[in-house]
Amino acid sequence: MSDAETQLHEFDRRMVWTGFRQLVPLSVFVTIFGAAFGLAAVQVGLDNSLIMAMSTLVFAGASQFAALELWGSQVPVFTLAITVFAINARHLLMGATLYPWLRHLPPRRRYGVMLLASDANWAMSLQAFARGQPGMGILFGGGIALWAFWVLGTWLGVHFGGAIRDPRSLGLDMVMGCFLLAMVVGGEKNLRLLMIWIIAACTSLLAYRYLPENSHVVVGALAGGLAGAFWMEKTDEH
């Protein structure tokens, strides 16, 4: 790996601020979903402080909505844990695709950055790396933006959420999917990445067809993550 490539993992405050600003426009839509979660959590009967703590510490929208579906006088902890793991198993694939750059960071920085990894900032950071540009500032700074607006949206939902009861009725549920599709299509194109996505997609579809509900997320992420871990880029060895 060349000296220029080995510097791509580095980031400073300026890069983090740039990453933050890049993700602010998309974070506006995250605020809307945060408001929807805050309202739904209030309707389930959760205490306001617990709702805010969940969004602040967990920062996983789909998992938090799934948790509400299982909430009751007796919470099935094992079922809840398996459901949350299934929904978030895609982070295994995220970690595998970012590993060539993450491995250069000390453990504290590496895991600190990944705490804020989500679909949007992961996709944008991967695009930056594909262009030969530093991407950790986007991953970390963008993650701060998404997290902050998610928490803000939750607070708004707790107190004023009645204004947006169903984001899907406004077509807002398609925003993230379209964004990620654009990132994938516009990203680096090589045989390794193509095969990783094909393996992840095919195994996920098979699991969706033949395995229990939500297991396709785990199976697809594991398959794609393992493919990326075992099929390392040749430049990583130099």
Q: What is the pLDDT of residues 187-209, one digit of tens each?
A: 555 677 778 778 888 888 898 88
Cα angle at 16 between 3 and 106, to 5 degrees? Answer: 55
Q: Is the pLDDT of residue 4 over 50?
A: no
Average pLDDT of the chain, as a whole number: 79
Q: Is the pLDDT of residue 180 over 80?
A: no
Confidence of residue 54 (pLDDT cuts 50, 70, 90): very high
More confident residue, 90 or 163: 90
Q: Which pTM does this prediction carry?
A: 0.70
Residue 157 burial by Cβ neighbours in a 10 Å radius (0-12, 13-18, 19+): buried
> Considering the chain, what percentage of its residues have pLDDT values greater than 90?
21
Cα 58 to Cα 118: distance, rounded to the nearest angstrom:
12
Cα 146 to Cα 153: distance, rounded to the nearest angstrom:
10
Q: pLDDT tens across 97-125, in order?
A: 898 899 888 999 999 999 999 888 998 99
Residue 208 burial by Cβ neighbours in a 10 Å radius (0-12, 13-18, 19+): middle
What pLDDT is stored for residue 3 in this prediction?
Answer: 41
Which residues are CB-contacts of 15 (< 8 A; sequence separation ≥ 6)? 134, 136, 137, 138, 141
Q: Is the pLDDT of residue 130 over 70?
A: yes
Cα 89 to Cα 95: distance, rounded to the nearest angstrom:
10
Which residues are CB-contacts of 91 (< 8 A; sequence separation ≥ 6)? 114, 117, 221
Cα 165 to Cα 121: distance, rounded to the nearest angstrom:
26
Q: pLDDT tens across 144-172, in order?
A: 999 999 999 999 988 886 555 555 555 54
What pLDDT is stored for residue 40 in this prediction?
Answer: 84
Residue 134 domain boundaries: 3-237
Residue with tokens 């060349």: 2
What pLDDT is stored for residue 168 in this prediction?
Answer: 57
Q: pLDDT tens across 211-236, in order?
A: 876 567 667 767 776 777 676 655 44
Residue 117 burial by Cβ neighbours in a 10 Å radius (0-12, 13-18, 19+): buried
What pLDDT is stored for residue 53 in this prediction?
Answer: 95
Domains identified in the chain, total number: 1
More confident residue, 39 or 181: 39
